[in-house]
Chain A
Amino acid sequence: NAGVTQTPKFQVLKTGQSMTLQCAQDMNHNSMYWYRQDPGMGLRLIYYSASEGTTDKGEVPNGYNVSRLNKREFSLRLESAAPSQTSVYFCASRREEGNTEAFFGQGTRLTVV
């Protein structure tokens, strides 16, 4: 049981380049999330998908887009990377919204130069 799988684990981009972070979960969870984690800022929600076919903005959505490709997969796209997007990105899933636990991937460390 792999849980939540993110790819890639590390990435270096030049300013203005684009890339897509991939996330897949094998737990048949309805809800999926993308967070960024920065020193001193904690985990901040970028986008979430409460269920297949829906996506919504979180706390810090600017500069990002998402796609809930199917129930398993939720991707995060940076169209034109900026140094301010240097961060560690985590994908998470939950069985549903509400008092259920979140399962996190191992993270993607992104550096934009």
Chain B
Amino acid sequence: SQKIEQNSEALNIQEGKTATLTCNYTNYSPAYLQWYRQDPGRGPVFLLLIRENEKEKRKERLKVTFDTTLKQSLFHITASQPADSATYLCALGNYGGSQGNLIFGKGTKLSVKP
């Protein structure tokens, strides 16, 4: 069955540094990958989507890469701030029927210390 691993349950970094979160997957060939942010007591909020034919996507201080050979996505937050502290989820998806449903990783809890 498909398996998604977000390598770290928790990541602690200093303000101003770049946070790098990893999402690995097995037994799956996703057509796209999404990243979400979840704050305590709230639902996940969409951040970025990257398709299988795209190597990199950027949005302000966020950058996502997608390597279908390594079966891995990296999510970077540059110049991190305490307000970036949250849990970040990756989600994989495909096209057509139940394949269109998103499969979520367990998340990485990021803490940015001032």
Residues of A within 8 A of B (CB): 4, 31, 33, 35, 40-45, 48, 50, 56, 58, 90, 92, 96-99, 101-107
Contacts and interface: CB of A to CB of B under 8 A. Distances in A.
B45 A98 contact: no
B97 to A, nearest CB: 8
A85 to B, nearest CB: 19
A108 B94 CA distance: 28
27 contacts: A31-B100, A33-B101, A40-B106, A41-B106, A42-B104, A42-B105, A42-B106, A43-B44, A43-B89, A45-B101, A50-B97, A90-B43, A90-B44, A92-B43, A97-B95, A97-B96, A97-B97, A98-B93, A99-B93, A99-B95, A101-B34, A102-B34, A102-B91, A102-B102, A104-B45, A107-B42, A107-B43
B94 to A, nearest CB: 8
B89 A42 contact: yes
A74 to B, nearest CB: 14
A81 B66 CA distance: 41
Given A33-B101, A42-B105, A43-B89, A99 B42 contact: no
Interface string B59-93: 00000000000000000000000000000010101
Interface residues on B, range: 20 to 34
* For the complex of A and B, 9 pairs with smallest distance between CB atoms: A97-B100, A104-B43, A42-B106, A101-B46, A43-B104, A99-B32, A104-B44, A42-B104, A98-B95
Nearest to A48: B101
Interface of B: 31-32, 34, 36, 41-46, 49, 51, 89, 91, 93, 95-98, 100-102, 104-107
Given A40-B106, A90-B43, A97-B96, 13 more contacts: A42-B104, A43-B89, A45-B102, A92-B43, A99-B32, A99-B51, A99-B95, A101-B46, A102-B46, A102-B91, A103-B46, A104-B45, A105-B43
B49 A99 contact: yes
Nearest to A99: B32
